[in-house]
């Protein structure tokens, strides 16, 4: 909820005050419903991902997240009948296989956390497909920053009651933590601001390079996150787990290369 609140405020500042892109308006009730659905799925992906981090180490979470292209290909075919080149589908095999191997060799494996992480990954893929449809629909085209401007407040509306119901006395707990150590306030502000800048830099990278470059950078981010999480949290990793992680990363790189050649 903090992330989406920051995205709402900073998106408005970037568009209305800084004029980074022209402000666009929602043109119809149907378009509003599409944005609301997209926002709900986005909330589901983020919340599920956060829940999974309670039970799984970040490294394993990132390895599962690397299977997003697999789910994206499936949803794109089911919803738009878009077929990829056969080589693209072949490269998804090591991606999924790597996660299966990593799951079997993960010392900190937790079934519920694994299910939540897979759900988050699937929801993230579904979001990207729906977002692509919304961004490309004739008469309803919104650029990425305006879409974030409208998605984020709707997400806050979804998340605020859920937060108050599911996280008992969350406001009181946060204030108590802040009284004990004011750094928690700055950590929340910094973390929430990062959520917006992730979306902003994604937009800028796509604008000045290409979506494929963004995907390759995202894959590199996943590999770096695995290594850093192991160094910071010292979570145990088996040889089998590392083999699975490596196979997944290799599969994602091959997938990106296959997509590049199919264009």
Note the pLDDT tens digit of each residue in 41-57: 989 998 899 899 899 88
Mean predicted confidence (pLDDT) in 140-151: 82
The number of beta carbons lying within 10 Å of the beta carbon of residue 23 is 11
Structure confidence at residue 232 (pLDDT): 84
Give the count of domains, the chain.
Answer: 1
Collapsed DSSP state (helix, strand, coil) of residue 15: helix
Q: What is the pLDDT of residues 93-139, one digit of tens each?
A: 887 787 777 666 667 788 999 999 999 989 988 887 887 777 666 66
Handedness of CA 170, 123, 128, 222 (dihedral sign): positive
**Tokens representing residue 31 in the block:** 């378009």
pLDDT bucket at 176, cuts 50 / 70 / 90: very high
**Higher-pLDDT residue of 125, 230:** 125
Q: Chain-centre distance of CA 9, in angstroms?
A: 20
Question: Which structural domain, as residue segments, surrounds residue 137?
Answer: 2-262
Cβ contact 85:223 at 8 Å? no
- Nearest CA to 199 among 20, 16, 17, 54? 20
Residue 15: which of 149, 131, 189, 122 has the closest Cα?
149
CB of 61 closer than 8 Å to CB of 49: yes
Question: Percent of the chain scored above 90 by pLDDT?
Answer: 25
Query: What average pLDDT does the segment 33-47 reach?
Result: 90
Confidence of residue 203 (pLDDT cuts 50, 70, 90): low
* Residues 183, 178: Cα–Cα separation, whole Å: 7
């Amino acid at each position: 909820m903090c992330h989406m609140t920051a995205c709402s405020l900073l998106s408005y500042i970037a568009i209305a005050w800084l004029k980074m892109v022209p402000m666009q308006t929602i043109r119809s009730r149907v378009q509003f419903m599409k944005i609301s659905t997209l926002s709900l799925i986005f909330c589901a992906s983020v919340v599920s991902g956060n829940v999974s981090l309670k039970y799984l180490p970040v490294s394993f979470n990132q390895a599962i997240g690397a299977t997003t292209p697999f789910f994206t290909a499936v949803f794109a075919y089911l919803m738009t009948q878009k077929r990829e080149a056969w080589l693209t589908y072949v490269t998804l095999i090591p991606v999924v296989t790597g996660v299966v191997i990593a799951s079997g060799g993960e010392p900190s494996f937790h079934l519920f956390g694994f299910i939540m992480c897979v759900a988050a990954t699937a929801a993230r893929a579904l979001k990207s497909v729906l977002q692509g449809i919304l961004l490309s629909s004739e008469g309803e085209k919104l650029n990425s920053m305006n879409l974030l401007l409208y998605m984020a407040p709707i997400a806050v509306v979804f998340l605020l009651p859920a937060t108050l119901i599911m996280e008992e006395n969350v406001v009181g707990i946060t204030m108590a933590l802040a009284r004990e150590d004011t750094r928690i306030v700055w950590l929340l502000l910094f973390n929430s601001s990062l959520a917006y800048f992730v979306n902003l830099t994604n937009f800028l990278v796509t604008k000045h390079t290409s979506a494929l470059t963004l995907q390759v950078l995202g894959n590199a981010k996943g590999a770096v996150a695995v290594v850093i999480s192991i160094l910071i949290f010292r979570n145990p990793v088996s040889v089998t787990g590392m083999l699975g992680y490596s196979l997944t990363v290799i599969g994602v790189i091959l997938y990106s290369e296959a997509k590049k050649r199919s264009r």
